[in-house]
Amino acid sequence: MIKSFTTAFFCLCTLCVYVTPVVAQDNLRVTVANMSQDMNLLAQNLKTLRLEIEELHRENARLRAELAAASSSRDTEVQISNLSSAIETLRREYRAADDAQKQQILAEVNRQVSALATETQAAINSVAKAVDSQPQVAASVHFSDDFPKTGKPYVVRSGDTLSKIARVHGSTVKNIQNANKIVNPARDLQVGETIFIPIAQ
């Protein structure tokens, strides 16, 4: 059972690595390594418990053989009965402990798979967001020469906009854009640069 969970878990991890962005791969590798180490430790503990129960079975067989060879007196029968009861109790406790450990392993695997799925979804969302935020190529803009050739130079100040400059100096936004070949006023208008303001006479 542990082996099948481990195989399924590593298959899931391998699949997740291909969909995560480069930034998230290191974190996923560390998470997978930690989970693998935890699984190996749990499997080793389970093997140790199985070895111990096998040793108890061997000890039980030895004791039964010794008791069979001993006197069949009432005291011996009582001791055998007590020993059998003790062994049965031990078996029940072992089965309960084994079931509890299996449940703990399954719960831990489920928790770590859920955490990995959450990280994977976050990485996918990050990739989708990065794709959506790619800058769009601006459409080609054609500028007209149909603007007044008279006017004056102006040094752009902080807080200036084309509409504000046009309003203050008696020009138009279109004429200022055409004269200075400004594609995007919000991005192309820089504080400190000098532009030409066309003003009709």
Tens of pLDDT, residues 152-181: 999 999 999 999 999 999 999 999 999 999
Provide the pLDDT for residue 70. 67
Residue 180 has what pLDDT?
A: 93
10 three-class SS: helix
Token reading at 36: 């693998």
The first and second tokens of residue 158, run together, are: 């902080």
- Say if CB 154 and CB 165 are below 8 A apart: yes
The residues, any chain, with a CB within 8 Å of residue 9's CB and separated by 6 or more, are 35, 39, 109, 112, 113
Question: Helix or strand or coil: residue 175?
Answer: helix
